[in-house]
Amino acid sequence: MNSYNAALAVDIAGIKMKTPVMAASGTFGFGVEYAGLLDLNQIGAVVVKGMTLKPRDGNTGRRIAETPAGMLNAIGLENPGVDRFLKEIFPQLSQYQVPVIVNIAGGTIEEYGELARQLANSGIAGLEINISCPNVKQGGMVFGTDPNSAAAVVGEVKKYAAVPVIAKLSPNVTDIVAMARAVESAGADAISLINTLLGMAIDVHSWRPVLGNIVGGLSGPAVRPIAVRMVWQVAKAVKVPVIGMGGIMTAEDAVEFLLAGASAVAVGTANFINPHAATQIAEGIADYLRQRGLCHVSQLVGQVRI
């Protein structure tokens, strides 16, 4: 893939990446778990799983269920906490030449700010604010569905952040453009979308919800048309870079998001099926560019013909 890097290299709000294909938060662990399966140095960026101030055990009961063309998850932000991440996990990940973006989640505005403060001089490349995770019982849904609350979180994080701040938007809203404009006005350096759609599955034999949390986040190819539509809407409405995600399984899927206006993409559910997805999709984008006689991936961004 090294021969493709010039055509694929992007700069997202100051985060320099070898390719526009990132590993999405919550689907790639902390990155080091995949180190024996693919070359982490060839990924655009690793967005680690959602991080909270204190360790979280996550939800009880069944957490994942397969659905037609997708999956439901209700992990509940299980993570070891920011202190252990910085002391034990990040030193392993920092050995690789790949930007590390930390996804942060909090139950209060102050918790988001404190997370940003503790991560400020750690050597990470960026922060992604999780204001939109649908399987968190406190905090996330409120912040992610109200423009004022979302803006308040972004503003608090920006007070302490020493790296670019990416606001990750929830699709579970009436007006995605209003949310995007709110976080941009509050200082977000980039916007990523979409997070998972709120869904539910019921076991028709037991008549009980499949997930222990009752509801969970729907991801995978089933959500891609919604994600492409929202990326297209947001990219037209804001000036900051947009990172598109939602059901990307192939290079063609990624190109669709780029044409809609995304400057980079993130691969999520595909990682569970194919650990090489992020690098293979990047290689496929490079092939696509060559076949079209294009010199750089930026020539695709926002070029949908309407």
Q: Residues with catalytic annotation?
A: 133
Residue 100 token pair: 């590390």
Instruction: Sort 147 into a burial class: Cβ within 10 Å, 0-12 / 13-18 / 19+.
Output: middle
31 is in an annotated binding site: no
Q: Write the CA distances from 2 to 5, 7, 8, 140, 279, integer angstroms.
A: 5, 10, 10, 39, 11
49 is in an annotated binding site: yes
- What are the residues facing 215 on neighbouring strands? 200
Helix (H, G, I), strand (E, B) or coil at 63: coil
168 is in an annotated binding site: yes
158 is in an annotated binding site: no
C-alpha 75/C-alpha 305 separation (Å) is 39
2 is in an annotated binding site: no
Q: How many C-beta neighbours within 10 Å does residue 206 have?
A: 8
Nearest to 161 by CA among 200, 122, 120, 118: 120
137 is in an annotated binding site: no
220 is in an annotated binding site: yes
74 is in an annotated binding site: yes
196 is in an annotated binding site: yes
Binding positions for FMN: 25, 49-50, 103, 130, 168, 194, 220, 246-247, 268-269
Binding positions for substrate: 49, 73-77, 130, 195-196
Binding positions: 25, 49-50, 73-77, 103, 130, 168, 194-196, 220, 246-247, 268-269
